[in-house]
Amino acid sequence: MKNQEIVLTGDRPSGPLHLGHYVGSLKNRVILQDQYTQYVMIADVQALTDNFENPQKVSDNVIEVALDYLAVGIDPTKTTIFIQSMIPEIAELTIFYLNLVTVNRLMRNPTIKTEIKMRGFEESIPAGFLMYPVSQAADITIVKGTIIPVGEDQIPVIEQTNEIIRTFNRIYQTNVLVEAKPMLSKVARLVGLDGQDKMSKSLGNAIFLGDSEDVLKKRVMSMYTDSNHLRVQDPGKVEGNVVFTYLDVFDTNVEKLSELKAHYQRGGLGDVVLKNYLFEILNELLTPIREKRKILAQDRSEIMKILLKGTAQVKVIAEKTMNEVRTSLRLNY
Ligand code: TRP
């Protein structure tokens, strides 16, 4: 028997998914799908809010992201995977929610504030981008999601969703909308290869789930270690050393890892040896994912079929929710 709560989550298809997504959310979804009714949305409409000049990129990545989902073990018989733009009810619901939100409140949303800065939108913010939290409230409520697995950076968006839900239920004197709780990943965000920021495609510091063995090796070899560790015999730093940060996450041999750390700190352990050790661990993790992805990618029409099937299931639920919403809004003519 599955838990009654409904899990809704998703990703913007602005690129293929990487190791940071794997530890932060994908791995968790594979577990959650056995415990909950889980919906995973490919947020192409949201991806267009900051990629409106690159529609082909967004469209192409819908399949790439779906391949990543399936390759890591998100099972379409357990998880409903769907395409946001194919549920126009989400857009419709967004319009009604926009009445319940002020521009000032959106500008004060910490998630939006940071993202506006990151994209250099300060001078002129596209209205669609500014209001994406409202659209995200519609994503969540259209299936009445109650558990929303997200990264820490998305918490203000869930808070704003709940404000909208409460305002809607109060003004229209209804209880059709159900509040949602964020579910935080236990693993903190994975740092990028450069050690500067979190792993992200746009920063070019990522390891993608579909990377070949050669590319994986190159990326591991490019990892930041300790800029003062010039000769093998020199003592090296573990703190802030990306290779050790990754080993902390991926190496299950705790004893060996603490030995390696001690060896590195006292000197005599070279970066290449250390990186080769990490490469072996990551390659063991990624090889089955990479191979499954490659096989799945041979028949993209089959992937689209899976997405259309999931979308059709959500469509039924979305229509039902919209009927209730329209009734609450006295729009049931
Ligand atoms: N904003 C999320 C991100 O950038 C993606 C997303 C869109 C989402 N709609 C959602 C996540 C609904 C959780 C629930 O990663």
Neighbouring CB atoms inside 10 A of 299's CB total: 10
CATH superfamily, domain at 213-294: Tyrosyl-Transfer RNA Synthetase (1.10.240.10)
The residue contributing the CA closest to ligand 1 atom 14 is: 9
Our answer on whether the CB atom of 12 is closer than 6 Å to any ligand 1 atom is yes
- Whether ligand 1 lies within 6 angstroms of the CB of 190 is answered as no
Separation of CA 42 and ligand 1 centre (Å): 9
Tens-place pLDDT, residues 235-267: 999 999 999 999 999 999 999 999 999 999 999
Q: Which of 21, 50, 157 to mutate to test the pocket of ligand 1 (most atoms within 8 A of CB)?
A: 157
Express the helix, strand and coil content of the chain in percent, nearest 5 each.
55, 10, 35
Q: Which atom of ligand 1 is nearest to the CA of 12?
A: 5
Is any ligand 1 atom within 6 A of the Cβ of residue 141? no
Cα 240 from Cα 218, distance rounded (Å): 20
In contact, 128 and 46? CB cutoff 8 Å: no
Compute the average pLDDT of residues 5-14: 97
Write the DSSP string, 85-151.
GG-HHHHHHHHHHHTT--HHHHHH-HHHHHHHHHTT-SSS--HHHHTHHHHHHHHHHHTT--EEEE-
**Domain ranges, ordered by start, for the chain:** 3-191+300-328, 213-294
Tell me the β-bridge partners of 81.
40
Q: Is the pLDDT of residue 187 over 80?
A: no
Q: How far is C-alpha 326 from the chain's CA centre?
A: 31
**Where residue 122 falls among pLDDT bands split at 50, 70, 90?**
confident
pLDDT score recorded for residue 327 = 97
Say which range, 2-6, 35-39, 74-78, has the weakest mean pLDDT: 2-6
Per-residue confidence band for 5, with pLDDT thresholds at 50, 70 and 90:
very high
Cα(218) to centroid(ligand 1), Å: 31
pLDDT computed for residue 92 by the predictor: 98
Percentage of residues of the chain with pLDDT beyond 70: 100
The CA distances from residue 118 to 110, 150, 191, 241, in Å, are: 12, 19, 17, 25
Alpha-carbon distance 143 to 139, whole Å? Answer: 7
Evaluate if residue 188 carries a pLDDT over 80.
no
pLDDT digits (tens, 9 = 90+) for 157-175: 999 999 999 999 999 999 9
Would you call 329 exposed, middle or buried from its count of C-beta atoms within 10 A (0-12, 13-18, 19+)? middle
How far, in Å, is the centroid of ligand 1 from the Cα of 327? 27
CA–centroid distance, 285 to ligand 1, in Å, is 26
| Residue whose CB lies within 8 A of the most ligand 1 atoms, among 6, 8, 12, for a mutation test | 12
Least confident of 31-45, 64-78, 181-195, 252-266: 181-195
Confidence band (pLDDT; 50, 70, 90) for 3? confident
Specify the ligand 1 atom closest to the Cα of 136: 9
- For the ranges 81-95, 136-150, 191-205, 275-289, which has the lowest average pLDDT? 191-205
173: left (phi over 0), alpha (psi -120 to 50) or beta: left
| 79 in contact with ligand 1, CB cutoff 6 A | no
Is it true that 3-191+300-328 and 213-294 share their CATH fold? Answer: no
pLDDT reported for residue 185: 83
Residue range 71-86: average pLDDT? 98
3-191+300-328 falls under which CATH superfamily?
HUPs (3.40.50.620)
Identify each DSSP E strand in 226-290 by its residue range: none
Assess whether pLDDT exceeds 90 at residue 202: no
Q: Which two tokens stand for residue 281?
A: 């661990």
For residues 106 and 112, the answer to whether their CB atoms sit within 8 Å is yes
Give the mean model confidence (pLDDT) for residues 211-221: 97
